[in-house]
Amino acid sequence: MNTKQRDVVFQRWSGAIQREARDLPSLQEVGRRALADPDVRGDSTLESMIETELQNRRAQLEQDLKDKEPPAAQAEPRITSRSEPPKPVPTTTPEQDVENFNRLVRTLSTSLERGDEKETGAIFAKMQALQERRPEVIPAPVIEDYAQRVEKLRVHIKQLTDEIVALAERAVLASRNGKEQDLARSMRRLTAIHAAHPRLLDEAGLEDVRREIADAADERREHNLTTKKLLERERAITAEIKVLAAAVHEFHRVACTVPDTSKEFRKAEATYLRTIQKVRTYDAGWFSGVVLELADLLAEWSVPPLGAEGQIDRFLDSIDAGLDRIRAEMREIESEQDSDEGNGSEPAAP
């Protein structure tokens, strides 16, 4: 078993241990299942990793039990040594712990790239525990760089969170006052944050901002009514493109994972064939019609606000790019089907 496969199996059982082991009996049961897993048996490194995870969980449960015990009666004091939480005894070799540490380093790097602060903190805590247990092979300075990167992410997330609040307030104020350039600038930045950090600003949060912008625009008369129409039309067209992209991507997934004789494949294929026909209607003529429609909305302003034309141009560019991505995936599907024996008769992507 290679390192990547071992990591997958370990993460599966590590999650099961944390979820299911609520007391010592349940810990013993999940440990028995984990060590009896065919993927685990025979792999000494993986067995050691799971045994270490079980030891750590046992120590946590035993400490929880001690914390829940009532304080000892003071009537008959006894001279005893101070009770301390039992330290887990390493059941892995130093070399195995170094390998585990390096695995966590790779996982941490991925988590940092995604900007997942919660996951990053949990991974780094495991790295610290390994370093404290094996200082002879994982010196403290080794972990300092990762500590700085984790702190840098925390500060960055805090700054972005504050910026989202400020940008949303600025966008709503700009919409209320008819400052289209400020509105477009704030929305561009919010959209960029949403794309890079969907956990901080998800689609629902971005939609809430758009709704507040539309509500603020309602306070104005003809000018604001046109702004709302434009936002609604952009949202409707974007939703249409997303539906098409999702249908194509779903068939691509099914085609790669499900036998073509199955009911699930036939159902997905039927949806995909309808999607092909729909995509073909989004041709140059359709695109020209959208351009004219948005131009008519722009013309409803007696004096178009500054930046409105640029906003429409950017929206049209995003439509064009979205359709290009859909067509590219359809060509990829066609190419994969052509390369498989007996699967070369699907309709060509537009």
Listing DSSP states for 207-251 in one string gives HHHHHHHHHHHTTSSHHHHHHHHHHHHHHHHHHHHHHHHHHHHHH
Are 158 and 239 found together in one domain?
Answer: no
Residue 46 confidence (pLDDT): 79
The mean-pLDDT minimum among 68-82, 112-126, 180-194, 244-258 falls in 68-82
Are 237 and 213 found together in one domain?
Answer: no
Asked if the model's pLDDT at residue 88 lies above 80, the reply is: no
Overall domain count for the chain: 2
Give the C-alpha separation, 271 to 112, whole Å. Answer: 38
Are 236 and 150 found together in one domain?
Answer: no
Domain boundary among 176, 201, 220: 220
Domain hosting residue 279, numbered range: 221-350
Residue 170 confidence (pLDDT): 92
Q: Compute the average pLDDT of residues 144-168.
A: 88
Q: Compute the average pLDDT of residues 263-279.
A: 87
The 10s digit of each residue's pLDDT in 89-127 is 556 788 888 888 888 888 888 888 777 778 888 889 888
Domain boundary among 220, 241, 264: 220
Residue 166 confidence (pLDDT): 92
Domain boundary among 194, 220, 246: 220
The 10s digit of each residue's pLDDT in 331-341 is 888 888 777 65
- Give domain status of residue 114, yes or no: no
Asked if the model's pLDDT at residue 81 lies above 70, the reply is: no
Cβ–Cβ < 8 Å for 146, 127: yes
Cβ–Cβ < 8 Å for 309, 278: no
Residue 80 confidence (pLDDT): 46
Give the C-alpha separation, 134 to 89, whole Å. Answer: 11
Q: Which of 127 and 86 is assigned the larger pLDDT?
A: 127
Residue 76 confidence (pLDDT): 45
Are 345 and 257 found together in one domain?
Answer: yes
Amino acid 26 reads: S
- Give domain status of residue 25, yes or no: no
* Largest interatomic CA distance in the chain: 93
Q: Compute the average pLDDT of residues 287-301.
A: 75
Residue 91 confidence (pLDDT): 65
8-22, 122-136, 217-231 — which one is most confidently predicted on average? 122-136
Positive or negative CA dihedral for 86, 92, 93, 99?
A: negative
- Give domain status of residue 314, yes or no: yes
Give the C-alpha separation, 168 to 174, whole Å. Answer: 10
- Give domain status of residue 88, yes or no: no
Cβ–Cβ < 8 Å for 178, 305: yes
